[in-house]
Structure 1
């Protein structure tokens, strides 16, 4: 089997409620713009999405606020993949928003969430969303907002609910209102190790943990920076793979409930990301990488 024929199913599967997804998915945030901020190439972005599905990706993470001056992630997904494959699970986020210039708006009020859900539906060309995250900023109670989404679920606009950028107590709070099928926080090797305990809590409740920014290095959230840890590079050399693939494989090793959603607009990187789902790190590899993770967690925040 060559790298460009590895199927996303090689990573195994997980249940988001009654929906089965491969543990390697795709994050749409980076489809809309290049690293320098210029708009992405439309045809290339469409081709990457279609190739992702060909490689078995059936979990796509998106949001109406993923857009650049000329590109909308949702509309790229619609153009590339509609009519949608029956097994494709599209996950959207609501709560924050952006104005047309791309500036962040204040957190939506509970009564504004229906409009955000409907905007995602319109852009995607769907009559319901498979999963919707309430993305939260800060430690404040989320009951009123999450309750509003639970009402939209009961109305048939949403199938399942999740929460994003949350603390452990907020996940507990959300569970008292409606089932939480997934939690999505920033997390990766040597990054945001405070989420380790939350991963275990999610596993105990049958909840998926879906890290974003899982390819960061040096604590930066814009994506892989190239400033890679020596131990990660060493493991990558020994397996004949990239450091990014090692990071993804380590992320998946954190538990069977951990899903990966690496995003890219580069077709070669897409193939590598999917192939990381077939990379099996040895116990010795994991011990070395876990030591890197623990050491980063012990460093004071800068």
Structure 2
């Protein structure tokens, strides 16, 4: 959980069994903001998540476009009911989201999530997936809108236990959120790319004058935007790491990587990012 601008934002299990997990905002005293959360017991929103970190990152010159990014791993609804596969996610909400007026009352109307991929391309197109996000570090750069995101991942494979570090740009994260939506359709409810008309303003956009001066608040969003957001939390395209592969892998090592902290160090031949990595055994 993190406290940002006098609001408490958290990703947590609300009940003892962990079935009702939520990303929520709790206003503190003197705040004008409302209590707001993800929908309860809706697996397409959150499905047994383990939260890793949350960060506030500006999107444009306008503070109205500021977004909160949440990093977590969860059971992948798109992998099918019987498959217990875990995927890593980046989700985002608008800071000025106050929920809907007739529908999604006190619920996020801007909550979207995308899969974070960290994999090593293999022979015959079969990738080695590091699916379970363990830690995230957001390295500030000179441009506050474009920090560099470092993630530590592990595999759930019993064949080759291993861990990896992948690096992401905010440009690739935004590209996934600006891309096509995933959609469940047909008699077998398969996940496909949504090819229908996307309502205006584009779902996931913050109410701000940057893109749309008509809607001053999420309560002003048209009903079709809100109803679209009830069904379409997941983006179709995943976020791929810079260079298309991890910058570091450890496979069949006697330890797993669990933590990452990054320093940017200026040397004679330019800046370097120095990684400090922690293992599961305290090393």
Give the TM-score taking structure 2 as reference length: 0.26
Relative to its length, the structure with more strand (as a share) is 2
Bigger Rg, structure 1 or 2: 2
Greater relative contact order structure (CA < 8 Å, 6+ sep): 1
Relative to its length, the structure with more helix (as a share) is 1
Give the TM-score taking structure 1 as reference length: 0.25
